[in-house]
Amino acid sequence: MKLACLHAHHTNIDYIESALATLNIELMHFVDPGLMNRVTNDTGFNQLDASIKVKEQIEWIAKCNADAILITCTNYIALLNEEDLSCSIPIIKIDEPYFEAICQIDEPQVILFTNPATIKGTMNRLNDYAEAKQKTLNLEVMVIEGTFELLMQGLNHEYNQLISTYIRRIGHDGKKEISVAQLSMVNAAKEIEREISKSILNPLDTLSSSVINQLAITKK
């Protein structure tokens, strides 16, 4: 089985390779950081242009003999209109099992981001998902300012340190459940949760079972 993975940044590759290492599947990775860069910085590049680009990417990947496609960027997912696709390949959206896990939590929650550009797309999709599930969420969004630029500069250690420091500061009181919304935050979250003895939800841990189920359906 071949699973094609579409990423907005190359750092997501290692996360997916690690999370799906035990599955008997072949992974193919496609990376395009340019789309999110244009969406964020080019005022002349509108949402319709971006949606067309995502459609082209998905249809190109579908021709590479993949059995399914995994999209690891929520903004890519938000821009995708599956009804417009000329291919019928199964598409796995990394945020949906993460959203499902969030919807199972009744306590107050904090969702952390480092990239402000991902917040609107992620939260719109989460709210739509929760509404479809008839769930009312008690959550707060927090941005760890001044961190995402470090990741873009390849300063992964410094990036993880700032995330860990932030989670440490808000996590010790234990009053709210914490989750991180981006794959790039997973390593720091896993490191600090051992220190504060508190589980931190992330989109990677919820992914494997979703991939297994989707590929099982594909085999039939």
Predicted pLDDT at 48: 83
Sequence-distant (≥ 6) Cβ neighbours of residue 145 within 8 angstroms: none
Q: Is the pTM of the predicted complex or chain greater than 0.75?
A: yes
Please answer whether residues 71 and 93 qualify as being in contact, where contact means their C-beta atoms are separated by less than 8 angstroms: yes
Domain map of the chain by residue range?
A: 2-93+206-219, 96-201
Over residues 18-22, mean pLDDT? 86
% pLDDT > 70, the chain:
95
Query: What's the chain's average pLDDT?
Result: 87
The CATH class of the 2-93+206-219 domain is: alpha beta
Same CATH topology for 2-93+206-219 and 96-201: the answer is: yes
Higher-confidence position of 171 and 3: 3
* pLDDT tens digits, one per residue of 138-190: 999 999 999 988 988 889 999 999 999 999 988 877 788 999 999 999 999 99
Please answer whether residues 5 and 26 qualify as being in contact, where contact means their C-beta atoms are separated by less than 8 angstroms: no
CATH 1.10.10.10 fits 96-201, yes or no: no
pLDDT at 134 over 90: yes
* H helix or E strand, kind and range, residue 144: none
Q: How far is CA 9 from CA 34, 46, 71, in A?
A: 9, 21, 12
Higher-confidence position of 216 and 80: 80
